[in-house]
Structure 1
Amino acid sequence: MGGAARDLSGDPDVNSRATTDLPRVAIIGTRGFPSYYGGFETLVRHLAPYLAEHGWEVDVYCRPGLVADEKIPTGVTQRFTRGVDSKSASTLSFGFSACADAARRKPDVALIMNVANGYFLPMLKARGIPVVLNVDGLEWEREKWSAPAKRIFHTGATLSAKFADTLVADSVEIGKYWKQHFGRDTEFIPYGGTTPDSPNSHLVRERLGLEPGSYVLAVARFVPENTMQEFFDAVRLMDPETRVVVVGSAPPGDPIQDSADRLAAERPNVQLLGHLSDDEFLHALWSNAGVYFHGHSVGGTNPALVQAMACGAPTVVRDTIFNREVLGDHGRFAAPDANAISSHLIAILHSDPDRTDLSLDVSARSDECYLWKSVLCRYGKVLRCAARH
């Protein structure tokens, strides 16, 4: 077993890199390892073990209480720092404490997630630590953030452009945006998908009473830019007997969550599963869906969409440049309104040939462009190049 989870206060292991000739990378800006929260956490679940297996010592900075109780691979160390656990302060406070500790330890390179951490790059640069930063999507355009929060993210992006040695964009279109607005080139590295060994049809039968190909699936957080309200309105336009499964949620009292709860109360065939950390079951839901709706509109390559493709889910997406980049010609593109969404979903759900063709197409697209093996190899090369400089 690798480095044990521990609080950093009084941690004597400050000079641990002196005990090994292996290069050390600090991964900062996620909820930690292993975590099942979102795209960055999914990336780190794959990347940290990969780097450890390929000659790195890996420090993953974690938030207390937000990582799974699982065995930690040899070469990977969880490092817990303190912060304020709130929507408005968590990213900045945990980012500050993690960057401060990494500056103290002085790894060979830091991999930073999220431009909000751009504020803290000067302390790493002052210690001579090269920084590779994943810019993620355009956080300052997300409706869920207040105007001050949007300004914080945009300023963080400006500082990231100024101080990071290497910027990574998960989308070609995001890379174009950064070149145009911030004058910086980016390395394109998308997310990867895991192709299941089996569709595990028995899981959806046993747990939900569903047959393969019989249901509509949506997987997303309930935030405005994910088009979930429009999706729930679209479901109301469908036959009440249509089986619908929704993975995702919002805090109690959120308007979209309230809308979802009302829909499920009115229609017993709508099943709300909330957040899932069981990858095997989630992959089974995608693998056996009659049609999958993906409404994400802000950001680049979305991890959920890439994983849905790896599972062969026939897909309807909100029509954006980012979703078109990922899917190519292998999906159905809908305007963000209930009528457009429902018509696409119904047409695919009730057409066996369309479902089969779309499933084969997205699987082939996944194999061609979005395999984890290629993604992780590219991260390894970028980190080694940055560490050498």
Structure 2
Amino acid sequence: MRKIAPALADAGWDVTVYGRDGSTRDDDPDRDPRVRTRITGGVETKSVSTLSYGFTAVLDAVRRRPDAVLVMNVANGFWLPLLSLRGIPSLVNVDGIEWERAKWGALAKFVFKSGARFTARFGTRLVGDAREIVRRWNSEFGRDAVFIPYGGEEPGDLPVEEGLQHRRYVLAVARFVPENTISEFIDAARLVAEEHDVVIVGSSGYGGEFDERVERLAAESDRVTWLGHVSDDKRLLALWQHAGAYFHGHSVGGTNPALVQAMLCGAPIVARDTVYNREVLEASGEFVQPEPGAIAQALSDLLSDPARQESLSTSARDRARQHYTWEGVCRRYEEELASLVDSRRSWVREP
């Protein structure tokens, strides 16, 4: 919502964003003063946090009765009947196929799948961030969805991270969960680091096996740097911009925001071979199976081929400029919301 809400305000909308305590700050320099925020209550636990905050936000919206509501995530699908009963149209971004993520247990997967069924039944209009997501929703739930991907921004020239060299290091940016091919990449990084620098950005957020393995690898090899979570956007953009090979191991979900941003930074990309990554990259990336030896070979080969690096960098940036900019994404959201409001007004006017 950091990009969509201000864009809607630019288009003349009166925008309110719901959040939880601590999610926004009055002194945030990136906060758009035209966008109102409303904080509602909820239960801060991993299992019910999204459900509880979504419920209180929907209750508040039902009372205020906006012209339309943009809903993110099918976990909020349980509360869509409340909006429907109130005559408030909803535009629902269904996000990824959450019930297939390895990080969730059986109960969480059941909740997400049930929320998806509610979304399919009660969402006024659905948004899929990848064409494959749109296809899945049509085949599994019998619902059509409009395709609107995620976007990114093209940075200007940024400095190389101290201690690194342009196009001479491997970069990985990911949350440490199994479906992001983290285990396989750690083993591959050990092989790559015999000859090349490796930079790893991310963590599990709560410690655990993957964090311990990366910490141990960084301690054993002076070619491996683990930065953990990087909150400085410019620093992260610079790491993508100067990488010699960026490994993108995400295997579920639709259009991945990190992949799109890496493309706009001109990173030469080696991606896990999935239908989603192929849809986004097409011919502007290399694809590899989730096996440590294959990953290491693909990354090392790319680091040793400057011509291929620049070819992939140029084609990835050009493709993202054409299909994955925030300007185009925000315009599509505004068009869909305006269409929903017009449809509602036409229905209300009918005798």
> 5+ unaligned residues in a row in structure 1: which ranges?
1-43
Alignment of 1:8-19 (within 5 A): none
> 5+ unaligned residues in a row in structure 2: which ranges?
345-351
How far apart are the structure 2 equivalents of 1:371 and 1:146? 34
Does 2:282 correspond to 1:325?
no
1:152 aligned partner, one-letter code:
V
Alignment of 1:215-230 (within 5 A): 215-230=169-184
- TM value normalised by structure 1: 0.86
Structure 2 match to 1:131? 90
Out of 102, 113, 120, the position equivalent to 2:79 is 120
How far apart are the structure 2 equivalents of 1:282 and 1:90? 28
Structure 2 match to 1:313? 267
Structure 1 contact 52–74 (Cα < 8 Å) conserved: no
1:335 aligned partner, one-letter code:
Q
Structure 1 match to 2:328? 374
How far apart are the structure 2 equivalents of 1:81 and 1:134? 21
Structure 1 match to 2:7? 50
Alignment of 1:49-128 (within 5 A): 49-67=6-24, 69-71=27-29, 72-128=31-87
Structure 2 match to 1:360? 314
Q: In structure 1, the residue corresponding to 2:254 is in which secondary structure?
A: coil
Q: In structure 2, the residue corresponding to 1:262 is in which secondary structure?
A: helix
1:67 aligned partner, one-letter code:
T
Structure 2 contact 126–146 (Cα < 8 Å) conserved: yes
- TM value normalised by structure 2: 0.95
How far apart are the structure 2 equivalents of 1:252 and 1:104? 37
2:126 aligned partner, one-letter code:
L
Q: After superposition, give the CA deviation of every residue in 1:110-163 in whole Å (9 maximum; x if it has no partner).
A: 000000000001111121110000001100000000001100000000000000
1:74 aligned partner, one-letter code:
P
Structure 1 contact 61–80 (Cα < 8 Å) conserved: yes
Q: In structure 2, the residue corresponding to 1:184 is in which secondary structure?
A: coil
How far apart are the structure 1 equivalents of 2:235 and 2:261? 13
Structure 2 contact 91–124 (Cα < 8 Å) conserved: yes
Q: After superposition, give the CA deviation of every residue in 1:313-359 in whole Å (9 maximum; x if it has no partner).
A: 00000000000000011111010010110000000011111111110
Give 1:241 deviation, angstroms.
Answer: 4.6
Aligned length: 341
Instruction: State the superposition RMSD in angstroms.
Output: 1.2
Out of 139, 154, 160, the position equivalent to 2:113 is 154
Give 1:366 deviation, angstroms.
Answer: 0.7
Structure 1 contact 252–258 (Cα < 8 Å) conserved: no
How far apart are the structure 2 equivalents of 1:212 and 1:70? 32
Among all aligned residue pairs of Structure 1 and Structure 2, give the percentage whose two residues are the same amino acid: 51
2:159 aligned partner, one-letter code:
S
Out of 254, 275, 290, the position equivalent to 1:300 is 254
Structure 2 match to 1:345? 299
